Each structure stands twice: as C-alpha cells, then as structure tokens.
Structure 1
Amino acid sequence: MLFPAAPELFLQRMISAAMETPHLLYALLAAACSHHSRLIKDATPHPKVTCLKYTNMAISNLRETLQDPSQSLKAETVTTAMALCTNDVCNGNMHVWRTHLRGVLRLLAASLRHQRELYSLEDSFLLSLAKWFKTMDIIAALSGLDGECIHDPEDSLLDRGSILGSDSDFIDDICGYSLDLIPYMARISKMVRSQNTSQISADISLIDAPSAQTMNEAEDLETGIASLIDKPISGSSFREGEVFVTELQSTHLAFVHSTLLHLHRRVQQLPIDHVKVRTDIRNILDAIGNIDPKSTANILILWPVFSAGCETTFLSERDMIRERMGIMENFGMGNFTRTRDLLERFWQSKTELRWDEHFARLGLELVLF
C-alpha cells in the first residue's frame, strides 16, 4: 500500500523474508493491524492493543537480533526498523519516529557498506530500502519550519548514484518521482530552516525577507528543478501498461511542481496570488487530475496535495482537494486523516500566516508521508 508502483520483486522479497524472520513478520503484522483498523474505521481499543502486542514482539526480537553483528547487517533487519518507523509516522507517533529513523540510518549505512565491501553487485532490495528511507527523510524535513534531514545530503553513501545505479535517468517506481529531485528538496528545506527565527510568534513577519544571495540561489534551483519535468519512464515501467505510465508520470510532475511551489512560497516568499505560485498550483492539480481517484497511486501524492491545498484560496480548488483527500483517506493510510483535519483547520483559521508558520506557532507537527 505504501509503494503502489514498486516492482513485484520488492514485495515478494519482503514477504518471503518475513516468513523466515520473526521480527520482520511481527513488524509487518503491527503495520497491517494499524492499517486495517483505519481501513474499517475501528475506534475501539482492540486494534491498538493488537498493534502494540506485535510492535513489542518485533522490538524485543529485533533487540536480540542486533546482539549478533552478522544479523544486524542483513537487509531484513533494516526492513524491520523501517517498517516500525513508518508505522509510527502513519499512527501519528511524532515523539518517537525521529529516534527510530536515526536508528534505521545507522543500520542501513552499515548494511550498504558491508555489502559493497563483499560484493561487486548491489542488492536491489537494499537499494529499495535506501529509497524508502530517503523519501521519508526528505518529506519529513519539508513538512514544517524546523525540518532537517536526518541523513546529510552531502554524504555520498545514499546519494543519487549509489541508490539509483543504472536507473538514475528514470522516474523511480518506489518513490513515484525522480530521485534527482531530492537534492533540490533538501536544499529548500535547509534554506527554509535557515530563514526561520528561533522565536515562533503570531507576527506575520516571522521569517526574515530573503537576501539577494538567497534569491539568486533560488533562481538557480528553479532552473534545475524545472529541468526534471521531462524525466523519462524506464522500460520496465512501460511494460506495466499505459495507465501505469501515465500515473507514474503524473506523480512525478506533482512532486516537481510542489518542489517549485515550496521554493516560490517558502524561500522566495512570493505572495499567494503571484503568477508563479498560481502556475505551480494549477500544474499540481493538473497532474493530480490525471490520476484516477480510485488508484492506489494517490497514496504517493499526500505531500503535493497538501502543498497545493495550503496555498490556494480558490474554493473550487479547495473543493477538488477536499474531495480527493477524502477518497485517499479510504485507503486507510494514517496521515491522510490527520493531514485532512489540519488542512481544514488551516482553511478555517483564515490566517495570513503561511501554513508552516501557522502550525509551528500552534506547536503542531505533521509528516506528509
């Protein structure tokens, strides 16, 4: 459900590994319990108790496994940690997910180094885990004022070449967008964070006006991001059929134009009615419109949908976003419900603050994953 465009081999490897790895099986069962309770909208304590049981079993078994250095370097161990962390995010456990994601990074980095020392060929499953980590890390960093990537984008271990290999020129089918976009997203996150003051207040002049140097850098970033619009589809993706290709291209475009929107609004601080901002929103909505509302590809585009929703004052566009998010919520993914609630709250506030300033002032945190 999290990665609807992922290759079948990714799913098969994860399920087969779980059959032989208790801590991974427990972690996936915990995630399945959480997902099922959201899917059927069960608010009783029973699913939470069941999820907690499997989570505790996964953590206990994982701790035992980590005592053995040879076991801690396995891809299955990284997968367990990543699944537990993702479940934290989907369940809104904001106070623990960062700690767990840092643990994932340590395990993932150790596994990648070990594998590269022993083998000349990369483990495609391990590289898929790296993409899973990278996309959660960058989206979390862009989900507020104080976001910061847990993995240093300057570290080459998980860079574009390492995790993409021969598929580096194509739209990625794990994340739904070209991973060439990630360095630009990371830079925007860093620039937003550097503009943020240490004091969060109600003052709408919360963020300092961008400097000339920032504006020049933003123009360079804009050119680089726009160059990714026409990223091609890989041959393996083409074999999945025309609908798959159209939706993968559309998720990619939604992310590209959302990145431009964040650059224009949060770095350059252009007004909400600026022609560039309005163009970004229309492009995002056009991309979303090319994805069937009932397609699982919608699971990938929470960040673009929320980004467009926060930056439009047009009722027709808000209604479109409200309708799409309602449909997306029916897939049972946790942050869709929380995100829609916060978006409605933001609209009702009629605040002149940007969404990230508004939520920071209220002490609210959200990961758009």
Structure 2
Amino acid sequence: MATSWPAVPAEMATSPPREDIPNGLSISNLLGNSYPPPAAPSPSIPALLDFNFPTGPVSQPISFIRPAVGVPNRTLNYTPFESGNIPDYRQDFPGLSSTEIGIAEASAECDTFSSSDSGSPDTSLCMSGTPQEGSPDSFSAGILDGPDNALISHTRPSSYAHLHSIRPTFDEHCSPSSSERKWHTYLTSVTDNYGMDCGRSDTDLGKNDDHSAIDVNNALDMIQSQTGSHVSSPRNFQAGKECIADSKYNYYALPVPINIPRYLSPLPTSLLKVPINLMYFHHFLNHTARVLVPHDCQDNPFSSVLPSMAIGDPNLLNLMLAYSASHRARFLGQPEPANRIALWVSDVFPSLRIALEDPHEKVTDSHLATAIMLLSLKIVSPSTFEVPVPWQSHLQLARDLFLARQFQMAYPGNRVGAFLTRWIGYLDILGSLSCRHHQPPLLAYYSVLSTCCADEEWDEFAVDCFTGFTPRTGLLLMQLGGLVHQCDNERFDDLGRFLPEWNPSPDIERKAESLIADWDTLDMHAHTHETHYQDSESSDMIAVDRAFRYAGLLHLYRRVLAEPSDSSSILRALDGLMQAVTAIRSGATAEAGVLFPIFTAGCETLDLQQRIEIKERLEVLEGTGMKQIQNARRLMERSWDTELPWIAFSQGEFLG
C-alpha cells in the first residue's frame, strides 16, 4: 500500500513530550564556523547567521487548532449552478438523512460571502462546491463542526479551530457503505473560488497593481445577476480571456480558476487583503507542488501538508509565496519580481538565527520546514538573495535543524516528520552527489523515516511517490554519497587541480563492491503498488527508480572505482540507465524529477545521437521553470567540450 499523506494534517501539531535538544548536541555544535571558500572540504553553516538583519518574529510551533485570522462571522448565500449540474442527492446518495441532503444540496451550490462587517476584506467571490481534480483528502471547514462531527447550520463561524484537528475515517472493522464513501468524497472535494489567474506578468513592487492580479469580473457578474443589479462590471468571463499571457504553456491556455481547498480556511489576512499573494499561494498549490514530485497524487505533501503548515507560520508562508513567484515567472518566461521576493524573505534569516542561538528557543517542525524551503528556493532560483550564500550553507543549516529535531519527530504516525525527513533527505542525497564540498548525507534519515511510518504498511522496496525511488534505493544513495565525498576530494590536490590518474584504496574498493552487491538485490525486489497508479504511471515510476539506481551505479564505477568510460562495467550500467530514461514518457509528470539520472546519462554517453536527444529533453524540461535544470545542461555540455569529467570544473551546481 502506498504511503498516505494526510490532507488535513491535524496530527502535525502534536508530538511526544520530549522537546529538549537531544543529548550531545549543543547550540555551539549547531552554529559551527562560516562556510569556507570552495576549496575547503567541509562546509559549515552560519555565514547565514552572521547576517546583520533586524530581529524579526520567531517562527513558533504551528498548531492546527488555530484561531480565526481576522475573518469576521459570515453567512453563506447559496445560488444554484446552471441547470442540470446539481446532483440528485436523494437518488445518487442513498442512505442520507433529510438533514444531510439539505446540507449537501446547499453546499453543492455556488455560495457567496456577504459580510456584515464593512471593514472586513472583500471576499464576495463565488464559493465553488464542485470537486476539483487532484484536490487533497480533507474535511470541508464549512460543513462539519464539533468533536463528534455534528452537522451545523450554514452560518460559517469565525473560527474553525476544531476542524483542523478532524480527519474523516471509516470504522476499520467494517466496510463503508456506498453512501458513506460518496459523502466522504463530497466532503473532501469542496473548494472555495477566488477568481481567475490569467497569467499576467508581475511587474514587481511599486509597479504592479496587486489588487488586479486576480480577475474577479465573472464572480461579480454572477453576484449582480443574482441580486438583480444592472450595474455592469468591466468585463465578463469571456472577455477575461483577453488577459491570458502570450505563452506556449498549456497551464495558462485558459484563465486558471483560483480554487483553494476549504479545509485551509480561514485564510490569513496577508492572503485575503493582497490578491496577488493569494494568486501566488494558489499557484503553488495547483502548479508548483505538482512539478516538485515525480508522481502527483492526493498524497503529495507539497499540496496538502506544507500549505497547512504555511498558513499558520508567516515565515514559511512568505517562502512559499517567494518560491511560487520565482517558479511562475520562469514558467511564463517573465522577469522575477525580485523586490517582492526580497521583502518576503527578509525576516526569515533572523528567525532561524534566533532559533539556533537562543538555548531557550526550541527547534520546531516549522523552523525545520522553513530552513528546507529556504534551501529549495536557493536551488530553484540562485539569484533570489542579494547576499551570496551558497546552497551548501542553506543545506547545512537545514541538516543542523534536523539533528536538533530528529528525536522529537521520530515516533510512529508522525506524518509531518515523515514529510520533512523525506524532503531534506532527498536534497541532502542529491547535494552530496552534486558537490564535493558538501558533507555526506545523514544516514539518520532512513531510521527516522522508518520510525515515522511504523504504523503504516512500511515497504522499503516500494517506489515512493515523493522521491521517485524506494527507501532502500535512497539508503544506498546515501552510502554512495559518503564514498563519493571521500573519493572526489582525494582526486584534487592542495591547489584544487583535478588528478585524472587517481585510483582508490583497497578499503574503498571493498566498500564499493559491497554496495554493488546491494544494488543487484534491489534490482530484483523494487516494485510499485500498481493499484495506486493510473494508465502508464506505474511503469513510469519503476523506470524512475531504475534510473536513479543505474545513475548511482555509474557514479560508483566512475567516481569511486575510477573505471574508464569504455570499461564493460560502465557500458552495462550506461545501457541500463539509457533504457530506464527512455522508458520514462516524455512529458510525464515523473520526468521533471529525474534531472540527476538524465544528466548522468548525458555526461557518460559517447553516442552523438543520444547526446542530442538528452540535450533536447533537458531543454524541454527547462520550461518547467526550474533554474537548476539549465545549470545542469550547461555543465553537461562543458563536459562534452572539454572531454573531462564534469566534477573537474563544476562550480557547485545542484543536480536534482
């Protein structure tokens, strides 16, 4: 059974009572020294912490038992959909009580907010009760109330604190009835519509009309037609199509409805009062989150777990908005709103600095998530920050926060701990294989992840939707990272010159042979849970796992055992890698998650036609808006031009 991520992650806020920093790990251990120049073999972190930023608020542990965030009491006005769109709940949902049918029919209609508080944000937009494709498994905050999930009236309370601690489940001792399943599906599919994202360019702070970033003309037209008003709005929905950006990308082929899952309500005022912030929040949920994983499904934590954490923590939310703004601009081929992004991230460094320096400040899940998000933003948009801090320092910061938090996270059923461990573990593995100046990945990721998933059907040989490879493949890549780190640094002299004639020691050879034996075992046992995937997705995911394994095998032969490119071992591994990469359908969602294997194949193949095909594939992937793909392609092409291994002249490019 595939690992299940919570879409209403109430349990995130709870953790065992052990909140102190683990024994043997002092604050001084976390702080370390400044990150050394590139020639130094062991980077450490807090060039970040020496920034002379003004002190900002500290990210506190988030709780999904949240108070309302400046949202007044509101009453929903319901208006029916167009004729024929409303389901017959009495016929289609047998077994529902008359009260339940009344709630379902009302909530399935288009509802609009009308606030009695004239000073409240203008949220008079169409509330969609229709299921949204790919919407996470969650409860509708507008439907349920009370500890026993009692049905309530249509008056929406100002606080849904209890709702964020509820997750719908069926009695494990009996099968749910058809009506129960349908009702559950309905409740977990409700979204609120806030207008349209037309793909307009963000011209940055002071130049952009932030309140017109979202097109609400269609919603206003509907409201006016319902109230009998004859006041015309600037444009109707059809005319709104004129604002679509001139883009070759299908995502903005039509205006994108800004549908946000209702379980995230009430949204913070920082989103409701500034429409462009709301637009970027939705863009992350609906688009960015989908390209960050090789398989996007209802278990994707970037579209469920992370947003739920972000709406409770301003720093994490700001980083999510910055990441979304960077990705959206690159995706559309537009300039990044650099000043806006700089403002969003300005308070993040001081918050993390205080968390590490203050012995009374506990490191929280929110601190760790913020640090990992900061690292991710640095990778996807290296020029985001004015201060030239390398991604290696951001990764070291995240590692230190993980070490300070790992024992508190490691308990069965901690889904947020599993998400954060997967996230930093993936970045640490790829970071160690990308750059010899980064430390070997922490093997603790494997043990923490297995503990967090202990109450699930933990299968270390099943391909993970988040990483694209099995946990056992991940463990072998971690071990490979340790060997690569040692050998890569031995292949350069004191002046940083590459030594092409280097050979490994007998001890290194023994460790490498042990890893090769493990690789052979994995090739026989890795699998997917096919019922979790549709159409060709299962074969895509098997191919992704094989691509990572064969890429790792190539790095083992080339960087650890120093075998020549024409050796039989290299040729067999390269053939396996090319077959795996070819098996991943071009344009599939899995494709964006295999930069490291595709880059490896491109660097190792000597076949001209294969090089052309790989280059073209990377150029297409650059259209996803991720800067590291372009950097990797250029590094690969330089390797072709110089006929030297890419590690001989790499400048710390992140290859994942």
Say yes or no: does 1:261 pair with 2:554. Answer: yes
Output the CA distance in 1 between the equivalents of 2:449 and 2:370.
Answer: 24
Pairwise CA distance, 1:271: 1.1
State the distance in 2 between where 1:268 and 1:284 align.
18
Letter in 2 for 1:322: K
Q: Are 1:114 and 2:404 an aligned pair?
A: no
Which structure 2 residues correspond to residues 33-112 of structure 1 after superposition, within 5 A?
A: 33-42=325-334, 44=335, 47-59=337-349, 72-92=362-382, 95-112=389-406
Deviates more, 1:142-151 or 1:121-130: 142-151
Higher strand share: 2
Shift of 1:190: 2.9
Distance 2:627 2:422 in 1: 21
| Aligned match for 2:605, one of 286, 304, 312 | 312
CA–CA distance in 1 between the matches of 2:435 and 2:391?
15
What is aligned with 1:177? 469
Larger RCO (CA within 8 A; separation ≥ 6): 1
2:450 corresponds in structure 1 to 161
Distance 2:316 2:420 in 1: 14
Q: Which residue of 2 aligns with 1:367?
A: 654
Is 2:536 aligned against 1:247?
no
2:320 is the counterpart of 1:24: no
Of stretches 19-28 and 67-76 in structure 1, the one that deviates more from structure 2 is 67-76
Q: Which of these two proteins has the greater Rg computed from alpha carbons?
A: 2
Offset from partner CA, 1:266-316 (integer Å, 9 cap, x none): 111111111221222222121111222112211211111111111111101
Contact persistence 1:22–1:58 (CA under 8 A)? no
Deviates more, 1:212-221 or 1:169-178: 212-221
Offset at residue 62 of structure 1 (A): 5.7
Distance 1:185 1:31 in 2: 27
Alpha-carbon distance in 2 for matches of 1:149, 1:224: 19
Task: Tell me if the contact between 2:315 and 2:345 (Cα under 8 Å) persists in the aligned partners.
Answer: no
Name whichever of 173-182 and 95-104 sits farther off.
95-104
Equivalent residue in structure 2 for 1:340, among 633, 637, 656? 633
Supply the distance in 2 between the matched residues of 1:217 and 1:61 (Cα, whole angstroms): 42
CA distance, structure 1, for counterparts of residue 358 and residue 636 of structure 2: 45
| Equivalent pair of 1:156/1:162 in contact (CA under 8 Å) | no
Candidates 203, 213, 219, aligned match of 2:513 = 219
Per the TM alignment, residue 158 of structure 1 is displaced from its structure 2 partner at its CA by 4.6
Residue in structure 2 matched with residue 149 of structure 1 by the alignment? 440
User: For residues 323-334 of structure 1, what are the structure 2 equivalents within 5 Å?
Assistant: 323-334=616-627
The whole-number CA distance in structure 2 between the counterparts of 1:159 and 1:121 is 10
Which of 403, 406, 429 pairs up with 1:138? 429
Distance in 2 of aligned mates of 1:14 and 1:216: 42
Q: Where do 5+ consecutive residues of structure 2 fail to align?
A: 1-290
Q: Higher helix proportion, which one?
A: 1
- The alpha carbon displacement at 1:219 in A equals 2.0
Counterparts in 2 of 1:292 and 1:61: CA distance versus 1, 3 Å: same
- Residue from 553, 557, 565 that aligns with 1:272: 565
Aligned residue identity for 2:654: V
Cα gap change, 1:300 to 1:70, in 2 (>3 Å): farther
How far is the alpha carbon of 1:6 from its aligned partner? 5.3
Over 3 Å counting, the alpha-carbon distance change for 1:7 and 1:347 in structure 2 is same
The one-letter amino acid paired with 1:181 is T
Alpha-carbon distance in 1 for matches of 2:356, 2:478: 31
Pairwise CA distance, 1:345: 1.9
In 1, distance between residues paired with 2:467 and 2:305? Answer: 18
Task: Measure the CA separation in 1 of the matches of 2:434 and 2:598.
Answer: 13
Q: How many aligned positions are there?
A: 353
Are the equivalent residues in 2 in contact too, given 1:293–1:327 (CA < 8 A)? no
* Structure-1 residue corresponding to 2:150: none
Partners of 1:251 and 1:163 in 2: CA distance:
24
SS at match of 1:167: coil
Cα separation, partners in 2 of 1:234 and 1:343, compared to 1, 3 Å: closer
Within 2, Cα distance between the matches of 1:70 and 1:143?
A: 36
Q: Within 2, Cα distance between the matches of 1:140 and 1:156?
A: 14
1:115 and 1:342 mapped to 2: Cα distance?
Answer: 38
Alignment pair present for 1:125 and 2:424: no
CA contact (8 A) 1:27 1:80 kept: yes
Q: Is the 8 A contact 2:425 2:441 kept in 1?
A: no
Q: Partner of 1:3 in structure 2?
A: 293
Distance of 1:299 and 1:61 partners within structure 2: 32
Q: Provide the rounded CA distance (Å) in 1 between the counterparts of 2:554 and 2:639.
A: 18
* 2:500 equivalent in structure 1: 204
Equivalent residues of 1:306, 1:343 under 8 A apart:
yes
Q: Contact between 1:272 and 1:278, CA under 8 Å: does it hold in 2?
A: yes
Alpha carbons of structure 1 residues 332 and 72: separation in structure 2 relative to 1, 3 Å: farther
One-letter code of the match for 2:648?
E
Code of the aligned partner of 1:132:
W
CA distance in 2, matches of 1:69, 1:244: 48
Name which of 288, 305, 312 aligns with 1:13: 305
Q: Which amino acid aligns with 2:425?
A: K
Partner of residue 646 from structure 2, selected from 342, 355, 367? 355
Displacement of 1:78: 2.0
Q: Distance in 2 between matches of 1:193 and 1:62?
A: 28
Unaligned runs of 5+ in 1: none
> Structure 1 residues 125 and 69, CA, compared in 2 at 3 Å: closer, same or farther?
farther
Deviations 1:154-173 (A, max 9, x none): x4785563355423231122
TM-score normalised to structure 1 length = 0.85
- Alignment RMSD: 2.8
Q: Equivalents in 2 of 1:39, 1:174: separation in Å?
A: 22
Aligned to 1:282: 575
